[in-house]
């Protein structure tokens, strides 16, 4: 029971980080791929829309991290040792873009240094989701060598670099970056109108196509390499149902974007991400790290029941405190469109 | 140097960096809402300008504190995976609560920063108060987790196995209160004197005097009160460490031979080889009294402990001396400030402003040296008496490169923050 609650929060915070943090990264990606005129417009919109929730969007990552280390220490241990480098790169990205985002609005003097802040924000916003994608890819790529399992000595590159630095990872990174851009564009459709809205609708579609292409590449590479995780996933009926669902959703989504429907596009987009995430995680669960000799279960030697119980209670109490406040924040700044007449 | 040394240096560096921004992010909201309240009460435009100026400072420091804090929470696992494997579940409680407090803070910050002219005035002010309260709570919880490393509790450790885990007992470990109290007061002192010092310098330069004097007074009122209370908390901490970690106390005082009626050393150069302290000032029996409240109490010396359990003595001793020295100085400066509130003539003197401008960085130096005492003084242990730091470190080699990268990245951030603050002040003075 308690472990179910904790696992729910792992999935919940992962989903929210992928969606909210993703939209946040995507805003920068969109800015990067905009004409100069649109860059200025984007900048203004992004500030108005993301400013109030910027920090909250990123706390989901911390919640996820803390829940993993408290509840699933063995799993967390493997991830922190073998994915040290890409996680460090994610941190550098988060640091640079976060700081650049805030100071470009809080620098008291607006001058040419804005160009530097803008560049850092945009580039950081692109690079960070790519590294996040690479980290996820490494978990399922099946190249992580658990040192205690190896019969032959491996060098630094094979142990700490090769598991994440490969084509599969790179395309997963591009895939996630496109998803981010897509989420941001979908979100911004509802925050703008007229000509600008049409621009975002156009961008949402382009990002969707990019995500489709990169996603296809990831799948192909996985199949060619005979990736265990991908094979398990495509053989799982549940995964197939959810992937199909998310594929079918593409059609109403495409239409909703074209017709610039605000609430519908958001709902469909989030639904789609949720389906993909669930379909990807469900079949292999709980084996959520593929190693070169097998896999590591997230449920290996989880924290004792006393800890899991407190963690579950803390998560529920925390949600009761925070979610209404967060909801109110979104409402106060008119970010939930359902409340707008 | 080994991987372990670089891992320790990296941890020290990023902690040392984060603590400054965290302290500012924790304390400055209180200055901000004090000015804000004065604006609401008096409708004096200067207070509104001050609130908005400080708000920009809060936003900039908060974001740097938040991203460096995110980095820090990853670092615990990345650098010390074996520590987190065992300690993670035990000290998860304060961290999960801290996550919640940080979330509340971020939501409140969203309301506050973007709420001008959009929210009800009182509610708007209230969200500012929530920023401050949740920030201080975060700080207390993180320090409580650190307290557990000094005073591990809430579990049984038999034959290398951690069992009977009680997360609540781990949270309320023996060190949490004394450490959290000391750090909270330290943050208020450092940030109070730091912010006041910046404004004092502007007063000296005769720029926008009314504005900077008002800012100075608000910031230093907090700083002075905290500085005057700090010695009491220091005394609680010292007695606590004497009980729980006698070897740390011995290192703080470079005290090698166990004895009764032990003198207190002020200053001095430590020679770890010969175990001598030269050029010190000796206060007879004072260490016995400060540590145990009895002039003739026995104080254990370093030589009573196995040599491989000694922390580095010289650096701990020097850091402790610097911290106490600065603490004392700031306490007297705090008293001087309170007197100057009654005796207005004092604040008309140039030396008064020179003094407070000079004190700007000192509180932060005290915070850094204080953490060196806590952390280096606990070595070679990462969990006191349970796990050694060398057993906790990542097997991944090459930490020197990531250390170098963090030094670079954070140096850039530091210069950026200074650059931005300078521009803030410039624009305030121009628009006055």
Q: What is the ipTM of this complex?
A: 0.86
Residue A331 predicted with pLDDT over 80: no
Whether residue B402 is contained in a domain is answered as yes
Tokens of B342: 């009654």
Tens digit of each residue's pLDDT (9 = 90 or more) over B346-390: 888 889 999 999 999 999 999 999 999 999 999 999 999 899 999
- As a whole number, mean pLDDT of residues B277-281 equals 86
Interface A:B, Cβ pairs < 8 A: 194
Between the alpha carbon of residue B257 and those of residues B46, B263, B272, B302, the distances in Å are 59, 12, 13, 7
Closest CA to B170 of B74, B97, B227: B97
Closest CA to B367 of B240, B250, B223, B218: B223
Tens digit of each residue's pLDDT (9 = 90 or more) over B117-170: 888 899 999 999 999 999 999 999 999 999 999 999 988 888 888 888 888 888
Report the pLDDT value the prediction gives residue B141, as an integer from 0 to 100: 94
Judged by CB atoms closer than 8 Å, whether chains meet at A98 and B89 is answered as no
Residue A202 predicted with pLDDT over 80: yes
Whether residue B279 is contained in a domain is answered as no
Tokens of B204: 């000296």
Residue A340 predicted with pLDDT over 50: no
Probe site for chain B from A63, A66, A319 (most B CB atoms < 10 A): A66
Report the pLDDT value the prediction gives residue A339, as an integer from 0 to 100: 46
Asked if B155 contacts B162 with a C-beta cutoff of 8 angstroms, the reply is yes
Please tell me which of the candidates B63, B78, B424 has its beta carbon nearest to residue A108.
B424
The 8-class DSSP code of residue B207 comes to S
Buried residues in A244-262 as b, exposed as e (16+ CB within 10 A): eebeebeeebbebbeebbb
Whether residue B353 is contained in a domain is answered as yes
Tens digit of each residue's pLDDT (9 = 90 or more) over B281-322: 888 888 898 888 888 888 998 888 998 899 999 999 999 999
Domain that holds residue A205: 2-339
Question: pTM for this one?
Answer: 0.90
In angstroms, rounded to a whole number, what is the distance separating the alpha carbons of residues B387 and A187?
Answer: 49
Whether residue B133 is contained in a domain is answered as yes
The 8-class DSSP code of residue B262 comes to P
In angstroms, rounded to a whole number, what is the distance separating the alpha carbons of residues A267 and A187?
Answer: 10
Instruction: Say what angle helices B3-42 and B362-376 make with each other, to 10 degrees.
Output: 140
Q: Which chain A residues in 130-189 lie under 8 Å from chain B, judged by CB atoms? A: 147, 156, 159-160
Residue A63 predicted with pLDDT over 90: no
Report the pLDDT value the prediction gives residue A337, as an integer from 0 to 100: 53
Whether residue B89 is contained in a domain is answered as yes
Closest CA to B98 of A146, A187, A65: A65
Q: Which chain A residues in 53-82 lie under 8 Å from chain B, judged by CB atoms? A: 53-56, 58-59, 61-63, 65-67, 69-71, 73-74, 76-77, 79-81
In angstroms, rounded to a whole number, what is the distance separating the alpha carbons of residues A309 and B401?
Answer: 40
* Number of structural domains chain A divides into: 1
Banded pLDDT at A170 (limits 50, 70, 90): very high
Interchain CB contact of A324 with B (< 8 Å): no
* Number of structural domains chain B divides into: 1
Asked if B199 contacts B219 with a C-beta cutoff of 8 angstroms, the reply is yes
Tens digit of each residue's pLDDT (9 = 90 or more) over B101-127: 888 888 898 889 888 888 889 999 999
Report the pLDDT value the prediction gives residue A107, as an integer from 0 to 100: 80
Measured between CA atoms, how close is B163 to chain A, in angstroms?
8
Tokens of A12: 């919940």
Judged by CB atoms closer than 8 Å, whether chains meet at A56 and B428 is answered as no
Which residues partner with B269 through β-bridges? Answer: B278
Judged by CB atoms closer than 8 Å, whether chains meet at B103 and A322 is answered as yes
Judged by CB atoms closer than 8 Å, whether chains meet at B111 and A71 is answered as no
Residues 6+ apart with CB under 8 A from B392: B80, B81, B82, B83, B382
Buried residues in A48-87 as b, exposed as e (16+ CB within 10 A): ebbbbbbbbbbbbbbbbbbbbbbbbbbbbbbbbbbbbbbb
Backbone phi, psi, residue B44, to 5°: -85, 115
Which residues from B are below 8 Å from A70, CB to CB?
88-89, 92, 95-96
Domain that holds residue B161: 3-258+300-431
* B259-260 and B298-299 strand pairing: antiparallel
Average pLDDT score, chain B: 91
Measured between CA atoms, how close is A293 to chain B, in angstroms?
19
- As a whole number, mean pLDDT of residues B313-336 equals 94
Q: Give the residue, A191 or B296, on which the prediction is more confident.
A: B296
């Amino acid at each position: 029971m308690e472990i179910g609650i904790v696992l729910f929060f792992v999935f919940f915070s992962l989903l929210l980080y992928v969606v909210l943090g993703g939209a946040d990264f995507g805003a920068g990606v969109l800015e990067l791929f905009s004409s100069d005129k649109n860059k200025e417009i984007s900048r203004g919109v992004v500030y108005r829309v993301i400013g109030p929730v910027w920090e909250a969007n990123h706390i989901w990552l911390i919640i996820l991290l803390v829940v993993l280390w408290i509840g699933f220490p063995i799993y967390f241990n493997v991830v922190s040792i073998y994915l040290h480098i890409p996680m460090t790169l994610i941190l550098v990205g988060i640091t640079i873009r976060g700081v650049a985002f805030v100071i470009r609005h809080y620098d008291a003097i607006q001058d040419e240094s804005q160009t530097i802040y803008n560049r850092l924000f945009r580039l950081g916003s692109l690079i960070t989701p790519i590294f996040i994608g690479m980290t996820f890819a490494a978990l399922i790529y099946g190249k992580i060598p658990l040192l205690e399992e190896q019969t032959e000595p491996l060098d630094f590159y094979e142990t700490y670099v090769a598991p994440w630095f490969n084509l599969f990872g790179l395309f997963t990174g591009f895939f996630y970056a496109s998803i981010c851009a897509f989420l941001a564009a979908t979100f911004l459709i509802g925050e703008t109108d007229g000509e600008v809205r049409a621009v975002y609708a156009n961008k949402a579609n382009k990002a969707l196509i990019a995500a489709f292409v990169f996603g296809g590449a990831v799948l192909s590479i996985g199949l060619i390499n005979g990736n265990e995780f991908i094979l398990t996933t495509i053989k799982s009926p549940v995964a197939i149902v959810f992937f199909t669902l998310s594929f079918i959703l593409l059609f109403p989504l495409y239409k909703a974007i074209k017709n610039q429907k605000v609430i519908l596009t958001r709902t469909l987009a989030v639904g789609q991400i949720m389906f993909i995430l669930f379909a990807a995680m469900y079949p292999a669960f709980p084996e959520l790290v593929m190693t070169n000799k097998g896999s590591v279960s997230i449920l290996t030697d989880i924290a004792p029941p006393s800890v899991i119980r407190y963690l579950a209670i803390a998560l529920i109490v925390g949600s009761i405190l925070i979610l209404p406040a967060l909801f109110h924040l979104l409402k106060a700044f008119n970010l939930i469109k359902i409340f707008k007449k | 140097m080994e991987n372990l040394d670089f891992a320790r240096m990296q941890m020290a560096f990023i902690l040392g960096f984060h603590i400054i921004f965290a302290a500012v992010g924790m304390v400055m909201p209180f200055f901000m809402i004090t000015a804000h309240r004065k604006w609401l009460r008096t409708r004096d435009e200067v207070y509104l300008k001050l609130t908005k100026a400080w708000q920009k400072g809060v936003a900039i420091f908060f974001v740097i504190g938040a991203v460096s804090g995110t980095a820090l929470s990853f670092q615990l696992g990345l650098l010390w995976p074996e520590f987190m494997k065992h300690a993670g579940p035990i000290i998860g409680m304060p961290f999960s609560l801290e996550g919640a407090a940080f979330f509340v803070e971020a939501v409140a910050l969203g309301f506050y920063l973007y709420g001008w002219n959009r929210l009800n005035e009182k509610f708007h002010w209230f969200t500012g108060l929530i920023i401050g309260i949740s920030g201080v709570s975060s700080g207390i919880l993180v320090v409580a987790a650190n307290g557990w490393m000094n005073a591990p509790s809430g579990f049984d450790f038999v034959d290398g196995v951690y069992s009977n885990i009680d997360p609540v007992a781990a949270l309320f470990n023996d060190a949490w209160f004394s450490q959290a109290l000391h750090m909270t007061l330290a943050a208020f002192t450092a940030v109070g004197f730091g912010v006041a010092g910046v404004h004092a310098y502007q007063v000296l330069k005769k720029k926008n005097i009314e504005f900077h004097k008002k800012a100075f007074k608000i910031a230093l009122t907090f700083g002075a009160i905290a500085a005057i209370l700090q010695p009491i908390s220091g005394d609680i901490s010292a007695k606590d460490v004497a009980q729980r970690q006698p070897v740390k106390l011995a290192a703080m005082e470079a005290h090698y031979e166990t004895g009764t009626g032990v003198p207190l050393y002020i200053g001095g150069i430590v020679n770890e080889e010969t175990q001598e302290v030269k050029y010190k000032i000796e206060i007879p029996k004072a260490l016995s009294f400060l540590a145990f409240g009895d002039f003739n109490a026995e104080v254990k010396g370093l030589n009573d402990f196995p040599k491989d359990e000694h922390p580095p003595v010289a650096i701990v001793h020097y850091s402790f001396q610097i911290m106490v020295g600065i603490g004392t100085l700031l306490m007297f400066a705090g008293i001087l400030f309170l007197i100057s509130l009654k005796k207005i003539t004092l604040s008309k003197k140039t030396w008064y402003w020179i003094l407070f401008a000079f004190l700007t960085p000192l509180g932060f130096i005290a915070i850094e040296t204080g953490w060196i005492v806590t952390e280096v003084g606990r070595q070679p242990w990462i969990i006191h008496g349970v796990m050694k730091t060398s057993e906790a470190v990542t097997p991944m080699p090459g930490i020197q490169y990531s250390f170098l990268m963090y030094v670079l990245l954070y140096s850039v951030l530091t210069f950026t923050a200074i650059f931005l603050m300078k521009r803030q002040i410039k624009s305030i003075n121009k628009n006055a």
